[in-house]
């Protein structure tokens, strides 16, 4: 085939072959990209089962759009030979990478997260892979995993390949493949689930068993179920329990060993029940490994030197706590900002105690106002304890109920009711932190006691104004920034030494300068506020972010990047820090660095949809469309959730319009864009994003008109506008070049 043209593909070289096909590298002459062409061998083209499997692979993969699943572009025929055009991958299969060795624990966990994420997407579409094994998993040089070969995939009724065959035929193909050659080492057989081995009905949990087998092999360098013949392997799968992974490799943390064991349960009802559950377990382990202390993952790890689990160190008590957002009993939506602020401050207070392991604000944000039990939180997050509570504010009175619950026993370790004056709110936060430490037998150091006693301000009214301003500043529209500015100015007037409020004031002024009015007075106000905040508390992460905004507004992007990274190093979920870092890197043209921080930014940002903006723009500039589509779908979920809770958030509305446009939902996109423009017809950022929506829908005239209105309304960020790939179609237009001229 080398040198031939197949349809509109020029075949360049052979990449390898297997039982179900020969793969070539080819050039797509229409789109100018390299692809992989997989041909079904001629001798199999007349075999209905082989042809069905080949076509099934294309149907399944093309129905999925996920960064960890190999993309299928097309299926076709050439001179009687069937072929699939798919994404060209560079690297090696996991089977090649294993080659008798075991992987590092971090590598095992990272790979498991990626594969589980891919299976989560497939299972959500009703697709069960049924052949997860190292040969069908591909690694590139950066250990990015791709799931391949959906040839044995099973589709639920009505799925993307409905009518692909009877269940009996599907199960027979899956369960009996490679079983007719006794006395030889088996490939697929070693990774089968018990139900596959018996030829029984399979579901998503079968994939999880196979993935557990892969993870066990990666972690230990050996298969959990071994034998010289298929019969011996089957017997092991059906009747024998493998040695725990941490016994086969003492460096495996107990928690990872437990997760792998759960995936290898022979009874599927006792097995890990979903890819989401497995991914959550692995993400928790990754968090613990990345934390440096390896709190839960290594608390009971056996020492390799002794080879005796009894000689290892005693397990430290698990003092992990998830602080759930307190319930607002006042029933007044206006009090939501206060409830959120109190909860987040309690998280901050508890984080000051080194003996406790506190889940970050973004982690628990997903559970806000959701009907979840402590046991569910314990299972999903791995939290040993949950702090729940409620508050009611009435005039100058504040009632707070708090309860610390053991997630394993559902037994309260401590509870308290506070009925105080509003002025005592900081004392209540301090006391809650101390009581929790006492309940978990953590002794506070003098430094920790001093840190807990420190208050952000002595003025409760200033604190209330600050919390209210924060809830509006996050939306970034001109109207919302003006309201936030008023709140922060009033807070500073109440307490001139309130560093957090001064930093927030600096941020708003800088944003107003960048996004709306390039008037010198805005920067003067921003600089004055930032300098006063720095003089009060220079090491406060929020203060460092405000200083970074000064650099950004002055187009000193490198200085902004360095300063905001200092803040993130101390407090990863610091308000707006990752958004500013991504925006600074993007403005500096350092797109790949934005892509590199994308996952960390989203994890730290929680429901802050702003953090996605520089990420999506950078991925577009890099041409990483697959990754960009994935992040866009994630942002759609965040934005739709925001609009359910805060329908008046116009910025969220225009951003979801943009995402709808890119996802092919033109009617939804136009509806949301026009509604956003009607709600705030003179907002620069809103008009700018509406222009992006029109350009995405190939409505160039409307896009240029909206962008002109945005410019008149104060949107003057030249670097951002010229680098935005959504507006590339306007480059060269006289009006565009007048407003946003290219640097010479």
Shortest CA distance to 403 belongs to which of 371, 424, 373, 380? 373
Give me the catalytic one of 28, 117, 131, 281. 131
Shortest CA distance to 146 belongs to which of 114, 121, 110, 123? 114
Active site annotation includes 340? no
Yes or no: say if 276 and 117 are a contact pair by the CB < 8 Å rule: no
Name beta bridge partners: 35. 26, 87
Cα gap 55→50, rounded to integer Å:
9
Report the SS3 class of residue 248.
helix
Yes or no: say if 446 and 418 are a contact pair by the CB < 8 Å rule: no
Per-residue CA distances from 38 to 153, 154, 602, 656, 660 (Å)? 17, 21, 36, 38, 33
Yes or no: say if 402 and 425 are a contact pair by the CB < 8 Å rule: no
The DSSP symbol for 74 reads E
End-to-end CA distance of the chain: 50
Backbone angles phi, psi at 292, to 5 degrees: 95, -40
Shortest CA distance to 601 belongs to which of 589, 610, 591? 610
Cα gap 490→381, rounded to integer Å:
39
Yes or no: say if 348 and 342 are a contact pair by the CB < 8 Å rule: no
Neighbours of 450 (CB within 10 A): 11
User: For residue 470, what are its two tokens?
Assistant: 């924060």
Residue linked to tokens 């996004």:
515
Yes or no: say if 1 and 41 are a contact pair by the CB < 8 Å rule: no
Cα gap 407→378, rounded to integer Å:
5
Yes or no: say if 125 and 207 are a contact pair by the CB < 8 Å rule: no
Question: Per-residue DSSP letters for 8-68?
Answer: TEEEEEEEEEETTEEEEEEEETTTTEEEEEEEPPHHHHT-HHHHHHHHHHHHHHHT---TT
Cα gap 502→498, rounded to integer Å:
6
Cα gap 657→678, rounded to integer Å:
14
Question: Per-residue DSSP letters for 172-222?
Answer: HHHHHTT-S-TTS--SGGGG--HHHHTT----HHHHHHHHHHHHHHHHHSS
Cα gap 126→113, rounded to integer Å:
20
Cα three-residue angle 377-382-384, rounded to 5 degrees:
80
Yes or no: say if 11 and 4 are a contact pair by the CB < 8 Å rule: yes
User: For residue 472, what are its two tokens?
Assistant: 């509006």
Cα gap 637→633, rounded to integer Å:
7
Cα gap 145→68, rounded to integer Å:
6
Cα three-residue angle 84-34-136, rounded to 5 degrees:
50
- What is the maximum span of the chain, computed from C-alpha positions, in angstroms? 84
User: For residue 732, what are its two tokens?
Assistant: 């060269």
Neighbours of 701 (CB within 10 A): 8
Yes or no: say if 338 and 291 are a contact pair by the CB < 8 Å rule: no
Q: Which active-site residues does the annotation give?
A: 131
């Amino acid at each position: 085939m080398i040198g031939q043209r197949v349809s509109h593909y020029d075949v360049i070289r052979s990449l390898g072959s297997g039982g179900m096909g020969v793969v070539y590298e080819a050039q797509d002459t229409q789109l100018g990209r390299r692809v992989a062409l997989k041909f079904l061998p001629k001798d199999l083209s007349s075999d209905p089962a082989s042809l069905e499997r080949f076509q099934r692979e294309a149907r399944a993969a093309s129905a999925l759009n996920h960064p960890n699943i190999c993309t299928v572009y097309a299926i076709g025929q050439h001179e009687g030979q069937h072929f699939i055009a798919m994404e060209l991958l560079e690297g090696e299969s996991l089977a090649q990478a294993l080659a008798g060795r075991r992987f590092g624990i971090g590598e095992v966990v990272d790979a498991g997260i990626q594969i589980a994420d891919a299976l989560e997407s497939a299972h959500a579409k009703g697709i069960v892979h049924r052949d997860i094994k190292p040969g069908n998993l591909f690694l590139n040089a950066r250990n990015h995993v791709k799931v391949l070969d959906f040839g044995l995939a099973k589709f639920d009724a009505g799925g993307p390949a409905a009518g692909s065959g009877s269940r009996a035929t599907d199960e027979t193909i899956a369960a009996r493949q490679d079983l007719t050659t006794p006395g030889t080492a088996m490939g697929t057989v070693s990774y089968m689930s018990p139900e596959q081995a018996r030829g029984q009905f399979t579901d998503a949990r079968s994939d999880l068993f196979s993935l557990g087998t892969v993870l066990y092999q990666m972690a230990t360098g050996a298969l959990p179920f071994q034998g010289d013949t298929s019969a011996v392997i089957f017997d092991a799968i059906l009747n024998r329990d493998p040695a725990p992974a941490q016994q086969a490799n003492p460096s495996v943390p107990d928690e990872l060993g437990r997760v792998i064991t759960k995936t290898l349960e022979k009874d599927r009802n006792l097995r890990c029940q979903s890819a989401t559950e497995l991914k959550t377990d692995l993400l928790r382990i990754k968090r613990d490994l990345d934390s440096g202390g390896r709190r839960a993952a290594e608390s009971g790890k056996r020492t390799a030197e002794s080879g005796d689990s009894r000689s290892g160190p005693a397990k430290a008590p698990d003092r992990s706590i998830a602080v759930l957002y307190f319930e607002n009993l006042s029933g007044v939506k206006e009090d939501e900002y206060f409830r959120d602020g109190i909860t987040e401050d309690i998280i901050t207070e508890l984080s000051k105690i080194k003996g406790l392991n506190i889940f970050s604000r973004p982690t628990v944000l997903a559970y806000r106002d959701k009907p979840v039990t402590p046991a569910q939180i314990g299972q999903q997050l791995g939290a040993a304890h949950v702090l729940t509570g409620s508050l009611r504010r009435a005039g100058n009175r504040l009632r707070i109920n708090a309860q610390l619950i053991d997630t394993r026993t559902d037994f309260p370790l401590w509870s308290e009711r506070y009925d105080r004056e509003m002025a005592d709110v900081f004392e209540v936060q301090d006391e809650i932190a101390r009581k929790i430490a006492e309940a978990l037998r953590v002794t506070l150091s003098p430094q920790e006691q001093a840190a807990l006693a420190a208050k952000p301000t002595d003025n409760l009214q200033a604190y209330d104004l600050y919390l209210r301003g924060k809830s509006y500043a996050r939306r970034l529209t001109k109207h919302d920034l003006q309201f936030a500015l008023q709140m922060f100015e009033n807070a500073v007037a109440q307490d001139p030494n309130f560093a957090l409020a001064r930093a927030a004031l600096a941020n708003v002024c800088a944003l107003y300068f960048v996004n709306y009015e390039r008037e010198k007075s805005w920067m003067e106000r921003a600089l004055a506020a930032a300098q006063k905040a720095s003089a009060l508390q220079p090491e406060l992460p929020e203060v460092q972010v405000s200083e970074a905004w000064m650099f950004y507004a002055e187009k000193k992007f490198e200085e902004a990047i360095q300063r905001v990274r200092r803040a993130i190093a101390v407090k990863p979920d610091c308000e707006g820090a990752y958004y500013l870092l991504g925006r600074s890197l993007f403005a500096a043209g350092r797109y790949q660095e934005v892509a590199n921080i994308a996952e960390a930014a989203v994890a730290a940002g929680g429901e802050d949809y702003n953090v996605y903006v520089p990420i999506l723009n950078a991925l577009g500039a890099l041409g990483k469309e697959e990754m960009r589509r994935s992040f866009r779908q994630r942002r759609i979920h965040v934005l739709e959730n925001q609009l359910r809770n805060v329908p008046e958030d116009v910025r969220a509305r225009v951003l979801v319009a943009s995402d709808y446009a890119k996802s092919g939902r033109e009617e939804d996109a136009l509806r949301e864009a026009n509604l956003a423009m009607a709600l705030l017809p003179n907002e620069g950022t809103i008009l700018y994003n509406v222009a992006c929506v029109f350009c995405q829908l190939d409505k160039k005239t409307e896009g240029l008109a909206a962008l002109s209105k945005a410019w008149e309304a104060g949107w003057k960020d030249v670097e951002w506008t010229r680098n935005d790939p959504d507006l590339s179609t306007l480059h060269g237009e006289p009006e565009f070049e007048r407003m946003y001229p290219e640097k010479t």
